[in-house]
Amino acid sequence: MRSPLKLISSIALISALSLMTGIPLLQASAAPIRATTELLDYAYPKSLNWRVRRDLARRIGIPAKDLRVTEAQRQTWKDGCLELSAPDEFCTQQLVEGWRIVVAHRQQQWVYHTDAQGQSLRLESGDRPLPRNVIFRSQSSGGFAGQNYETVLFTDGRMQQKITFVGGKNAPVRTWRVSPEKVQQFRQLLEREQFQSFNHKTYPATAGAADFFVVRLSSPMGTVEYADVAQDKLPRSLKTIIQAWNLLR
C-alpha cells in the first residue's frame, strides 16, 4: 500500500503535467495518440474513408478491408476536375473544397483528390495525361518485394526503364533504342487494336490472389489497368498489345 505522502506527490505531479499540457486531469489518459506513419485530419468524413478504399479495391482487386488511409489533408482545388483533368476534358473554373487522400497497402501508395464529401474523386496517378514526347508507358507495382517498374517509349525511339525499391531507392536507369520502323509498327498496332477502347477499364485479380503486380498501361489515347495474374482473361486485342509491348522491352 502506498504511503499518503507518495500518493499526494503523485497527484501533484499529474496535476502539474495537466496544467502544462492543457489537457484536463480526467481526460489525460484518453488523449488520442497519432501514429507516426499517419497524417490525418480527423475532421474528414468517415464515409470518405470507405469510398476511396472501395474505389481503389475495385480498380486493383485488393479487398477494401486490406487498404488503409494514411493521409487525409484539406485542399482547395482550383477547378471542377480537382486538378486532375483527363486529356481534352473541359473543367469548370471554380474553387472546390476537398481532400487529398493517401491510401496504402503494404509498401504501395495511391493518391486521391476528392471533393468535400467524396461524391467526386479522382486517382492522381491514373488521370494525368502523358507528356507530349511519350508514345506509351507501362507502370507495374506490387508483389511481396514492393518494387515499382516504369518503362517508357518516347517519340524519338528511346526506351527507358526505372526500378524503385522499397524505401525509395532507385536502380540505375536502363536506356535503349528502338528502330523507327518498330516505333511506327507499334503505333499502328495501338490504332488497329483500338487501345482507346480500354480507357479507364480495370481487370482486377481474382479474390484471394497474392503476390501479384498491378500493371497500368498508358498512351495519349487512354489508360487501362490489370493484374498480371489475370492476364489470360484479358480481351484478345489487349493481349496482342501487351505481347507487342513486351517484345520492345
Q: Are residues 71 and 178 in the same domain?
A: no
d(CA 127, CA 152): 17
pLDDT digits (tens, 9 = 90+) for 110-154: 889 999 988 899 987 654 567 889 999 998 887 666 678 899 999
Range from 27-31, 60-64, 117-121 that averages highest in pLDDT:
117-121
Cell 498512351 sits on residue: 219
**Residue type for position 154:** F
pLDDT category at 17 given cuts 50, 70, 90 is very low
Q: Are residues 141 and 242 in the same domain?
A: yes
d(CA 181, CA 188): 11
* Residues across the chain: 249
Residue 21 within a domain: no
Q: Are residues 114 and 154 in the same domain?
A: no
Q: Are residues 156 and 238 in the same domain?
A: yes
Q: Are residues 152 and 118 in the same domain?
A: no
Q: Are residues 135 and 220 in the same domain?
A: yes
**Could you write out the three-class secondary structure of 142-202?**
ECCCCEEEEEEEECCCEEEEEEECCCCCECCCEEEECCHHHHHHHHHHHHHCCHHHHCCEE
Residue range 162-184: average pLDDT? 87
Q: Are residues 84 and 187 in the same domain?
A: no
Q: Are residues 79 and 150 in the same domain?
A: no
Q: Are residues 140 and 222 in the same domain?
A: yes
Residue 134 within a domain: yes
pLDDT category at 246 given cuts 50, 70, 90 is very high
Question: Of 126, 152, 171, which closes a domain?
Answer: 126
pLDDT category at 201 given cuts 50, 70, 90 is confident
Where is pLDDT greater, at 114 or 58? 114
Residue 10 within a domain: no
| pTM value surpassing 0.85 | no
Where is pLDDT greater, at 144 or 219? 219
Residue 206 within a domain: yes
- What string of DSSP letters covers 38-82? -EE-TTS-HHHHHHHHHHHHHHH---GGG-EEEEEEEEEESSTTT
For residue 159, what are the CA distances in angstroms to 49, 113, 238?
A: 38, 31, 21
CB proximity list for 238: less than 8 A, separation 6 or greater: 193, 195, 198, 224, 226
Domain with 61, as residue range(s), is 39-126
Question: Of 126, 145, 169, which closes a domain?
Answer: 126
Q: Are residues 158 and 242 in the same domain?
A: yes
| CA 189 to chain CA centroid, nearest Å | 29
Q: Are residues 159 and 104 in the same domain?
A: no
Question: Of 80, 109, 126, which closes a domain?
Answer: 126
Domain total of the chain: 2
Residue 3 within a domain: no
Q: Are residues 121 and 156 in the same domain?
A: no
Share of the chain above pLDDT 70, in %: 74
pLDDT (0 to 100) of residue 153: 97
